[in-house]
Amino acid sequence: MRLLLVAVFLICTTSLTACAGSGGDPSEVGGVSSQELGLASYYGHQYHGRTTANGETYDENQLTAAHRTLPFGTRVRVTNLENGKTVLLRINDRGPFVDGRIIDVSWRGAQDLDFVREGVVEAKVEVLPGR
């Protein structure tokens, strides 16, 4: 399964049309295509109560996430590619600051995606229309 996911990721990163689907060019938001594949991680308990990049107080029980470039308020669907579980999140912070990772989700998001134990999971991030 992991080998297949890596192959899909490599195809998508080398050929944008392979990721675009049947509709042509993918839309871009914040300098990224409407879909990304890569590693997702989550904020640990030590960040609960700290200020996020948009000025909010981080609440580990809310469905929020950090992304490097998506505008604050952007809604995304994150899918755990290892178990198929999905969650809808709102971008309110910047990160992740670890190479190879595409999104940091809240602790609650990681619970809903069922990867708290693993800490990092292969995921798909899709930008949802509207804000």
Q: The domain that contains 32 carries what CATH number?
A: 2.40.40.10
What residues make up the domain containing 77?
Answer: 27-127
Could you read off the pLDDT of 68-104 as tens digits, one per residue?
Answer: 999 999 999 999 999 999 999 999 999 999 999 999 9
pLDDT value, residue 130: 79
Asked whether residue 3 is assigned to any structural domain, the reply reads no
Predicted TM-score (pTM) of this structure: 0.76
Could you read off the pLDDT of 15-60 as tens digits, one per residue?
Answer: 332 333 323 334 555 555 699 999 999 998 999 999 999 999 999 9
Residue 2: pLDDT band (50, 70, 90) is very low
Asked whether residue 102 is assigned to any structural domain, the reply reads yes
Asked whether residue 31 is assigned to any structural domain, the reply reads yes
Residue with tokens 């809310």: 62
What is the count of structural domains for the chain? Answer: 1
Query: Quick check: 18 and 10 in contact, CB under 8 A?
Result: no
Nearby residues of 114 by Cβ (< 8 Å), 6 or more positions away: 80, 83, 85
Asked whether residue 15 is assigned to any structural domain, the reply reads no
* DSSP 8-state code for residue 58: P
